[in-house]
Chains A and B, each alone.
Chain A
Amino acid sequence: MQNIIFGLVSGSILALAAVGFSMIRQTEGFINIAHGQMLTVGAFLGFIFVNSLGLNVFVAGLVVMIAVGLLGVVLALIVFEPVSANGALAQLFTSIGLAYVMYGLIRVVFGAKVQFYPNLFGRRFDFTNFNVTVGELVIVGLAGASTVGLHLFLTRTRLGTWIRATASNPELARLRGIPVRRVSISVWFVASALAGLAGVMLGVIGNVNSELGWTQILMILAAAVLGGLGSIYGVLAAGLLLGLVMDLSAMIIPSTWRLVVAFVVLVLVLVFRPRGLFAKAERKEAA
């Protein structure tokens, strides 16, 4: 039971991080390795806001989302937009380059030390054979709320509809007069903001360190592939599932193996369902 709660918490965070990653993959058409570093930036900014400026953690989370969201847009415009004509592989390697630049700068600015958020949610509910802290409830609740919010945004607003249209067929979307550039900028904002939020959450339940982005991007990739790169809801589900699998596996084998478990699951899924768990059947494109 305790493991299910841990799994839900890490799964919700992973889902938030992975959904942004897969939105960028869908509308911009490339794998953004720098997405993991967005989490690190979020985690460190949140740490500074809460620890040094004494902000309320919810306010800090909101400010971090806006700040990281804007950072995502700025980086998209100055780093990614100029190489978009050079193809998806140039963009992928640009994102690896950006991840290194961000990683180096994060270590210069914030240092390489492991930092801890102050204990914000001290209260704990004890049940007969498990317990749950307020912080964990808040995280699962917030992640759930963000998911519902994202769903409403994507289905009920015009911008959201444009985003989904661009994601499923960029050429057609452009032909239909959808302002592709505005769509792209808003995707960068939303995806980066969610990454920032996930980063703060990771900091609250665990710690903040400069290596965070590299470990997280591996799990984000796993979740994104597991869900099928194409589907936003598939990725959300896969994130949750992966979190649960990793923490439930800790009951059978030592928890240091959790990343191995995640990747073994990933490889098994790829062998049997090469397009992910939730991928819909796609028309074969003529070669």
Chain B
Amino acid sequence: MTGVLLFFVGVLTLAGIYAILAMTLNLEAGWAGMWDLGLVGFVAVGAYTYTILTQTKFDDVIIHPQLPIWVGMLGAAAAAAAFASVIGLPTLRVRGEYFLITTLAFAEVVRQVAVNTQTITRGTIGFSELSRPLEGTFPGTGNRIVLLVIVWIGVVLVYLLLRRIAHSPYGRLLRGFRDNDPVARSLGKATNHHRLRTYILAGALYGLTAPMYLWYLRSVTPHLFAPDITFVTWTALVIGGIASKRGPIIGAVVLLVLTESVSLIQGSANLAVILASMRFVVLGLLLILIMRFRPNGLTDERSAFATVQSSDSL
């Protein structure tokens, strides 16, 4: 019984992490119209920055300052934001499919760099046995619940931040130039400047999420940052409803509970291999079915913003 309970604590922790990623993606893609297929690149930059700044177990790398956790988190956000501002210059010059592909390419470049710079990132071996926050105060299973609470506090904070942005003039401007860039520019809005700002903000949020993902996994290798994280986040967003407000959270929970529950089925080692692969099949099927029968997702932009309009008119 406690096994199942702990299992769901893990699933909900992961779902919370993906909820933050999906909300950030929603800001970037849903509202600002930047269809980013490279968000895993920011997560990777954040994850490696955090690990290099805070890890205490490995001294065979050039940089290991062993800083406290909160410095690592700030560093992760700052590094990912800096990375966004650098790659934003070339990527934001192109639109549509070209943007999709360029961002995908950059994420892969980050991963390959992590593989190839052994003296800093330990290459394909990576780092393991990373410590979690409050591990001393709450050892053992209690720590997993602490992690769950931390992650969901993060979800609530990011939700409140993004809801504030959504209702602000800045949020309306994003959705405005998403739908019609020339009109926004003719009204004197520096749309490219706001795109870059949003891209950097999204990068910082992805970077900030990375440490939580590492607390959950306790290790970091380049293999983690294959396009999977990007596609799972997109699936969560698309299931929940792109450009809505609560959609990303709903989508992440639904998706992660469905795909992770596959591993609840007990069986032989042979079956376990098959089940591990079946998670990809479940993920893919969900995406295909949602696209066919509910292309707008479970909640949509119109209903998410309907209350805003009516309260505005009051």
Contact = CB atoms under 8 A, between A and B. Distances in A.
B299 interface: no
B225 to A, nearest CB: 13
Question: How large, as a class, is the contact surface on chain A?
Answer: 35 or more
B108 A100 contact: no
A108 interface: yes
Given A93-B291, A96-B234, A287-B182, A256 B277 contact: no
Given A104-B278, A260-B112, A267 B90 contact: yes
A260 B102 contact: no
Contacts of B14: none
Question: How large, as a class, is the contact surface on chain B?
Answer: 35 or more
A90 interface: yes
Interface stretch (A47-55, A62-70, A218-226): A218-226
A267 B106 contact: yes
Contacts of B281: 100-101, 104-105, 108
Nearest to A91: B291
B146 interface: no
Interface string A251-264: 00010110110011
Contacts of A91: 291
Interface string B27-38: 000000001000
Given A83-B291, A263-B108, A264-B109, A96 B278 contact: no
A97 B285 contact: yes
Nearest to A287: B182
Given A260-B109, A271-B90, A274-B93, A98 B284 contact: yes
A93 B104 contact: no
A93 B238 contact: yes
A108 B274 contact: yes
B90 A218 contact: no
B105 A267 contact: yes
A221 B277 contact: no
Contacts of A79: 288
A229 to B, nearest CB: 7
A151 interface: no
A90 B277 contact: no
A274 B105 contact: no
B102 A266 contact: yes
B113 interface: yes
B295 A90 contact: yes
Contacts of B102: 225, 266-267, 270
B106 A94 contact: no
Interface string A78-89: 010011001101
B41 to A, nearest CB: 11
Contacts of A287: 182
Contact of A94 (B35, B100, B273, B288): B288
B291 A259 contact: no
Contact of B104 (A82, A218, A256, A264): A218
A100 B101 contact: no
Contacts of B226: 214
Contacts of B108: 218, 259, 263
A224 B97 CA distance: 11
Contacts of A238: none
B90 A259 contact: no
Q: Per DSSP, are chain B's interface residues mostly helix, strand or loop, or mixed?
A: helix
B98 A103 contact: no
Interface in B259-314: 273-274, 276-288, 291-292, 295
B115 interface: yes
B7 interface: no
B252 to A, nearest CB: 16
Interface string B87-125: 000110110011011101110110011011000000000
A99 interface: yes
B280 A107 contact: yes
B227 interface: yes
B8 interface: no
B302 to A, nearest CB: 16
A257 B278 CA distance: 32
B116 A99 contact: no
A264 B235 CA distance: 28
A101 B113 contact: no
B227 to A, nearest CB: 7
A6 to B, nearest CB: 19
A229 B102 CA distance: 13
B97 A229 contact: yes
A77 interface: no
Contacts of B100: 31, 92
A41 to B, nearest CB: 15
Contact of A101 (B101, B116, B231, B280): B280
B97 to A, nearest CB: 6
A254 B288 CA distance: 40
Interface in B219-243: 226-227, 231, 234-235, 238
14 contacts: A31-B100, A94-B291, A97-B285, A97-B288, A99-B284, A100-B281, A100-B287, A102-B284, A104-B283, A225-B98, A259-B112, A266-B105, A267-B105, A274-B93
Interface of A: 31, 79, 82-83, 86-87, 89-94, 96-105, 107-108, 111-112, 214, 218, 221-222, 224-225, 229, 254, 256-257, 259-260, 263-264, 266-267, 270-271, 274-275, 287
The 10 closest A-B pairs by CB, nearest first: A97-B287, A100-B284, A104-B280, A101-B284, A104-B281, A107-B277, A97-B288, A263-B105, A97-B284, A86-B295
